[in-house]
A = this chain, B = another copy of it.
């Protein structure tokens, strides 16, 4: 009855052997050098062989780690949504979807801040590449079903309730807008990103998030009222 019987996804990074460790490391290196090149020379003007050379692996290996070139710009999206899934699974009976979302977003923005320049680069690259913005919708679709399920539980309906799906789609669409909004105006103002500013920006982000959730919950309420009137 070793400790490995109770490992969680979070522990996995330490539990595993040297082999897996090297794999993660290789993946990380590839993603990092790719992001740097994308930032410097643009996504389209960076080739896979080029990234491979910079990461000291073969082109074939790059494609093996990242099936599509676009995936290089979203190296840890899977984990991000895995955490959302965990968060939803772990929520208590009274906790609403909105509260869980708030907590999740807070955790994620903390992560982004820890990454520092890295997250900023990713933001820049995606903002500068329409193709990547379109690609990101693919992941959002994944999040949509998670949120839809959570909202459906709140409403006590079936997991594929239409209203839940509508509300979920609206929520994530608004998140996208907020996310895109966060990139642009800070650049325009032109003041250096000091610690104080970052703190402010984070509070601002939460505030915007609340507005989004307000929007969505008002929408849901209106639907429920309308449905009650019909019946």
Name the B residues within 8 Å of A217 (CB-CB): 222
- Chain A contributes a number of interface residues (CB within 8 A of B) equal to 35
Answer yes or no: A173 CB below 8 A from chain B CBs.
yes
In Å, the complex CA distance between A174 and B218 comes to: 15
Q: A208 — which chain B residues lie within 8 A by C-beta? A: 162
* B212 and A166 contacting across the interface, CB-CB below 8 Å: yes
One complex includes copies of this chain to the number of 2
Q: Is the CB of B214 within 8 A of A170?
A: no
Decide if A75 is an interface residue (CB 8 Å cutoff).
Answer: no
Contact A166 B177 (CB under 8 A): yes
Residue in contact with A223 in the complex, picked from B178, B181, B214, CB distance below 8 Å: B214
**A176 in the interface, Cβ–Cβ < 8 Å?**
yes
Chain B binder among A23-31, A81-89, A131-139: A131-139
Other-chain contact of A226, B170, B211, B219 (Cβ < 8 Å) = B211
Contacts of A226 in B (CB 8 A): 211, 214
Q: Decide if A215 touches B223 in the complex (CB within 8 Å).
A: yes
The interface of chain A, by Cβ under 8 A from chain B, is: 130, 133-135, 137-138, 141, 162-163, 165-167, 169-170, 172-174, 176-178, 181, 208, 211-212, 214-223, 226
Which 4 A-B pairs give the minimum distances between C-beta atoms? A218-B222, A173-B173, A215-B219, A170-B170
